[in-house]
Structure 1
Amino acid sequence: MGTAPSFSRVLLKVSGEALMGSKEFGIDLDMAGRVADEVVQAVKGGVQVALVIGGGNIFRGVAGAASGMDRANADQMGMLATVMNALAMQDVLISKGIDARAMSAIHMPTVCESFTRARALSHLNKGKVVLCAAGTGNPFFTTDTAAALRAAELKCDAFFKGTSVDGIYSADPKADRNAERFETLTYDEMLARNLRVMDGAAIALARDNAIPVFVFSIRQSGEFNKVLNGNGTFTEVTV
């Protein structure tokens, strides 16, 4: 699918739901291990990787708010869920021989490092995987937006979003057999079509910082590294 892109530093966003594997809740360590294997392969191939994991497998702030909770409080609970996922993935990566650092946007020094751009860049340059947790540290922002923000801060060459489908569709392909799959889209087309694979703030951040976005299925084994090399199946969002 085109010429193989060359990336030296990337941001990988994985949904919390992806870590559930076949479970209904929580973390499936086998699935976490498979995702970690893909990150390990990329790092050993010379790519620096920053990783953002959502918290939907443990708690989703929007769902909590819809059930009657205060939205800000619900979002803070969701941020804590992402820290739990980051710590789990940090442990799995270290067990596979790759140094990793969970860094939280919320100050919790007895649990993990606080996120600072300088420290995160230092870790990446030393070949460590940086797990950016707790979103932006503020309610009302999704982990997609946090991922786009970190991609910009850390000067990533691209933003890879691993989902449960193999790209961006005009509608949910699981519900609509006639949904159209896109090979490429512009940032503005994403916003104009209101395609909900990512929220508008994340797309706008990527656009304003000229960061290409690649949407692919993280559930397909080996797909992350295939997409890194310009192969596999994905939708590219760019200018």
Structure 2
Amino acid sequence: MRKTLILGVTTMLTLGSLNGSLATIAHANENENPSNKITELTRASLTKVSSDSILEVAPYVHKDDQGFLYVDSNIPRDIYIKNKVKVLEKSFKDINKQVANGQVVVNDDLSITKKSGFTTFASKGYTSETFWWGQRAKYTNSQTKSTVKQLENAGQDIGFLAAALVWLPAIGGITGISAAYCGKLAKSMKSKNNGNGVILDMTWALVYSVKSR
């Protein structure tokens, strides 16, 4: 089995557009099988995420001995296209660059941890955890209300989108967000806020789920 390791030069964990990338390709042992342990841990980390895309792609996502994320080159074409794995690979380039620079570490459950002394994550009005599939953002009641207000504004006038993005997880495909998307997300966050805030999971493909805290 041939596996492709993706390296690159942009940063996923800050807001902004991708500025272009330089990819370095390396091939692992063709007879090496994916680690069952990694796959199991990956699935275990998805218990709070309701996304068919994540569950479908997870078996093909791994970490190599150097701590870099990669997608198996033998991932079925239909799964690759349907789940926008090309976008996921771009985000892996960003993460792997930070791993190479010693800024972040990819854990065995494929969550991403910032190393002490580095300010990788942009200042924002919520706390968050980063995983291979995207981010989990936790909002307090007041933060949820502020975010909903910004999203509602963006839903009515796309000119307010930049202000709204400050309150959302920094996903590589963030440029795909539309006014309609903002309006729908605002309704979801508002309906799930019972006074304690919400938890928002957002994937590389901008698929999201919202639940009450």
Whether TM exceeds 0.5 here: the answer is no
Larger radius of gyration: 2
TM-score normalised over the length of structure 2: 0.29
TM-score normalised over the length of structure 1: 0.27
